[in-house]
Amino acid sequence: MKIFRFGCVFGGFLSLVLAVSAQNFTTVHSFDRTDGEQPYGTLVQATNGDLYGTTSLGGTMDGGTVFKITTSGTLTTLYNFCSQSNCTDGEGPEGALVQANGNFYGTTLGGGASTFGTVFRITPGGTLTTLHSFDGVDGVAPRTGLIQATDGNLYGATAQGGANTYGTVFKITPSGTLTTLHNFDDTDGTDPYSGLMQATSGTLYGTTYEGGADNGGTIFSLSVGLGPFVEPQPASGRVGAAIKILGTNLTGATSVTFNGTAATFTVVSRSEITTTVPTGATTGKIKVTTPARTLTSNVSFQVRP
């Protein structure tokens, strides 16, 4: 499946930029098509401090790329899509990458065994594995990236295909076993372009571009049996740094620990706690004890030196 896009790019090819402030703006890298073109997905910062992302076009085969770039601007192309015959390795990654289990996971809009898009895994060194090729029945054209939910599995959506041709929501294990969770039927939405998020209740949420009662799109929730958790914002910091912890039913919380080290805290509301990284804290999960249960963070909090 050849991918066509319409639009304009001002000043030539898109540039990768970091905006520190309105007074301190730096162009870190300008793509020249040989190293990629049209990066749609957002960047993700890995634990090594480097930034990883994708371009939907460009590269040696014009099928898009996966790249790594340092915060100072040194870019390395990790993979060129369509390197395999008939683009069986995928073509046109538009969604952001997600880091999980020491690797990165993503999707391609086209390519794969049936030309309907893929789910892939790529190591930090650039070794790519196609985990799943969509065949139309289980979806077509995953435009967005994946999320890793608290059960360790990856969740995403396809913009088209499925039982009713209006798109799907799916789960895929890190090893590549895919399960279709929902087939859109137009009355509940069509074309889920924006991807998914997991709320601290454990429920998945997303939007569809069109469909619904007035054909103006929908907002949907999908419960897959996952329990509540807490989410630190930000997910890293030095000792003494101020941290917000988001959650559900936090009123009456009696304890907050950073990988077992107790922290002082204030319950701001039923959905927010403020705290600081305690002395002696090490990298690991945050736990919040409430009258109902002990909630664990969805990510390991990184204690920076």
String of DSSP letters for 15-31: EEEEEEETTEEEEEEE-
289 and 255 Cβ atoms separated by less than 8 Å: yes
3-state secondary structure of 37: strand
Residue 47's pLDDT is 80
Radius of gyration of the chain (CA): 21
The verdict on residue 249 lying in a domain is yes
- Indicate whether this model's pTM tops 0.85: yes
The verdict on residue 240 lying in a domain is yes
**Tens of pLDDT, residues 262-285:** 999 999 999 999 999 999 999 999
CA 242, 246, 250, 251 torsion: positive or negative?
positive
Instruction: Write out the residue range of the structural domain in which residue 297 sits.
Output: 231-303
CATH code of the domain in which 278 resides: 2.60.40.10
pLDDT at residue 11 tops 70: no
The verdict on residue 25 lying in a domain is no
The verdict on residue 279 lying in a domain is yes
Beta bridge partners of 33: 36
CA 125, 129, 131, 136 torsion: positive or negative?
positive
pLDDT at residue 112 tops 50: yes
pLDDT band with cut points at 50, 70 and 90 for residue 23: confident
Residue 17's pLDDT is 53
The verdict on residue 126 lying in a domain is no
Across residues 215-233, what is the average pLDDT? 97
Across residues 91-97, what is the average pLDDT? 96
Overall size of the chain counted in residues: 305
Between 75 and 1, name the one with better pLDDT. 75
- What is the distance between the terminal CA atoms of the chain, rounded to a whole angstrom? 48
The verdict on residue 168 lying in a domain is no
291 and 264 Cβ atoms separated by less than 8 Å: no
pLDDT at residue 14 tops 80: no
pLDDT at residue 91 tops 60: yes
The verdict on residue 294 lying in a domain is yes
Cα–Cα distances in angstroms (integers) from residue 189 to residues 115, 135, 214, 215, in the given order: 24, 21, 10, 8
pLDDT at residue 21 tops 90: no
Smallest CA-to-CA distance from 35 within 11, 64, 9 is with 64
Number of domains forming the structure of the chain: 1
The verdict on residue 259 lying in a domain is yes
**Tens of pLDDT, residues 235-269:** 999 999 999 999 999 999 999 999 999 999 999 99
Across residues 204-219, what is the average pLDDT? 98
